[in-house]
């Protein structure tokens, strides 16, 4: 069966990475009807917006997109194109596997690191509800405070104090924790760890933890273990003994921070895939930026976007193809011959290959 997929080519090195990932997916033999769409700075110069309506219309039709890196233009109405996509499409969960592949340079190569970060995408401090210093408290702001502090308290010292509101809801917490357990169940994972700061933020993080414990009860018969960790302790634990952890579920801010920390354990953002998923579809993307200074140089590591495409194949129920693609990527990395400069022992290694050549090596492995 053919699958309809939106391919967002992005800008900077995005088009080169998109082409590499597309070739690797096609090499698996899975039939994809690619709907190629442009977004970012390059298209903005032509049509006046970095995110044309055609992109959103395409994803609304396909419910599945593979997105290369995009630069968020400065001085436009978009705080972030990525955030805008998540909000418009209801992509409430960001899932980032962080797995070590032998051959990748990292200080943690002796550890069996295989983590999955499940991050809530819509709430927490990233909701952007802020009170500017020197401005009167609005009625909406006071409503959000909801009894935790009075308007008088917020007004006190308002000339020198900025305030950010941290909304965390039962419904938002329920769906992200349930997402983590369902991911664990569907992918043979053994444990879910909820990460929080409920010892200090008893109303917001306390609600998240309480809700996580209630959801965990629903999966008590599944054999998936549940535990919780305070976020600062979790950071130390990941550096000292990451092999003890499996699936981590976190509110938005902590998820953003720990997902990069976990990526660092396995070699960095160049090998870190990601997906954002919601009830109406999913967007798969590398977690690194668009690196415009390398545009057109055929130099950037394509691994993260190719592994994101692997996650897309899993999402499309093409698990055999996904496993073969992951195995091909792992084999090329382990051999260490046809890899980009950042994956060589020395970055000036003259034997390093380019983006296209590494993708070609992965395609070759798929055909063996």
Residues designated as active site: 126, 197, 232, 256
User: Could you give the angle at the alpha carbon of 74 between the alpha carbons of 162 and 294, nearest 5°?
Assistant: 125
Residue linked to tokens 């992109």: 55
At 5, list the tokens.
């997929």
At 95, list the tokens.
């899932």
Report whether 228 contacts 195 (CB < 8 A).
yes
């Amino acid at each position: 069966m053919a699958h309809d997929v939106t391919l967002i080519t992005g800008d900077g090195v995005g088009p080169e990475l998109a082409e590499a990932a597309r070739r690797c997916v096609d090499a698996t033999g899975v039939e994809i009807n690619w709907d190629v769409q442009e977004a970012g700075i390059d298209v903005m110069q032509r049509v006046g917006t970095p995110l044309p309506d055609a992109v959103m219309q395409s994803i609304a039709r396909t419910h599945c997109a593979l997105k290369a890196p995009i630069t968020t233009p400065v001085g436009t109405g978009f705080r972030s194109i990525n955030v805008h996509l998540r909000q418009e499409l209801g992509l409430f969960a960001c899932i980032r596997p962080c797995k070590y592949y032998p051959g990748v340079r990292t200080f943690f190569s002796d550890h069996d690191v295989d983590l999955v970060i499940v991050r809530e995408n819509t709430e927490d401090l990233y909701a952007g509800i802020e009170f500017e210093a020197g401005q009167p408290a609005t009625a909406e702001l006071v409503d959000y405070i909801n009894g935790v502090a009075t308007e008088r308290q917020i007004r006190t010292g308002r000339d020198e104090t900025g305030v950010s509101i941290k909304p965390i809801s039962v419904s938002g917490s329920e769906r992200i924790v349930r997402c983590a357990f369902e991911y664990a169940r569907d992918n043979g994972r053994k444990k879910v760890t909820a990460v929080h700061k409920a010892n200090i933020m008893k109303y917001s993080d306390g609600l998240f933890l309480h809700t996580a414990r209630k959801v965990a009860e629903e999966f008590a018969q599944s054999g998936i273990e549940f535990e919780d960790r305070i976020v600062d302790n979790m950071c130390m634990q990941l550096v000292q003994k990451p092999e003890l952890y499996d699936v981590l579920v976190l509110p938005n801010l902590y998820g953003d921070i720990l997902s990069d920390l976990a990526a660092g354990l396995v070699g960095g953002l160049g090998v870190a895939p990601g997906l954002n998923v919601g009830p109406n579809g999913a967007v798969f993307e590398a977690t690194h930026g668009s690196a415009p200074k390398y545009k057109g140089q055929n130099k950037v590591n394509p691994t993260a976007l190719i592994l994101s495409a692997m996650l897309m194949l899993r999402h499309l129920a093409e698990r055999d193809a996904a496993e073969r693609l992951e195995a091909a990527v792992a084999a090329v990395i382990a051999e260490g011959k046809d890899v980009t400069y950042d994956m060589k022992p020395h970055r000036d290694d003259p034997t390093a290959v380019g983006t296209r050549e590494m993708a070609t090596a992965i395609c070759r492995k798929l055909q063996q």
